[in-house]
A = this chain, B = another copy of it.
């Protein structure tokens, strides 16, 4: 029964954004900012570079999925000392 539920159950798409916390130096962001400037783009500031992870989770309840994604971030994906994470469920 569990197997068939999993097979027919809808997947949730989870998007995780991991960025450096404010105040933590972001050299990649600075490099992008300078490169865009030298290409002629104007009025750009505060460029921050981070990671983006998307995955499918065989779960139908958004709350459970979000809790599980937070657990993933804390245990593996983000370094919570210097990084923030944001989770979007679709």
Q: Nearest 6 CB-CB pairs, A to B?
A: A43-B58, A52-B52, A50-B52, A47-B55, A46-B56, A48-B54
Instruction: State the Cβ distance, A4 to closest chain B Cβ, in Å.
Output: 14
Contact residues in B for A46 (Cβ distance below 8 Å): 54-56
Copies in the complex: 2
Number of chain A residues whose Cβ lies closer than 8 Å to a Cβ of chain B: 35
Contact with B along A47-89 (1 / 0, CB 8 A): 1111111111111000000001001100111000000000000
Within the complex, which residue of B39, B55, B75, B77 is in contact with A75, where a contact is CB–CB below 8 Å? B39
Contact with B along A5-24 (1 / 0, CB 8 A): 01000010000011100000
A35 within 8 A of B: yes
Within the complex, which residue of B33, B52, B55, B76 is in contact with A45, where a contact is CB–CB below 8 Å? B55
A25 within 8 A of B: no
- How many angstroms from the CA of A46 to the CA of B14 in the assembled complex? 11
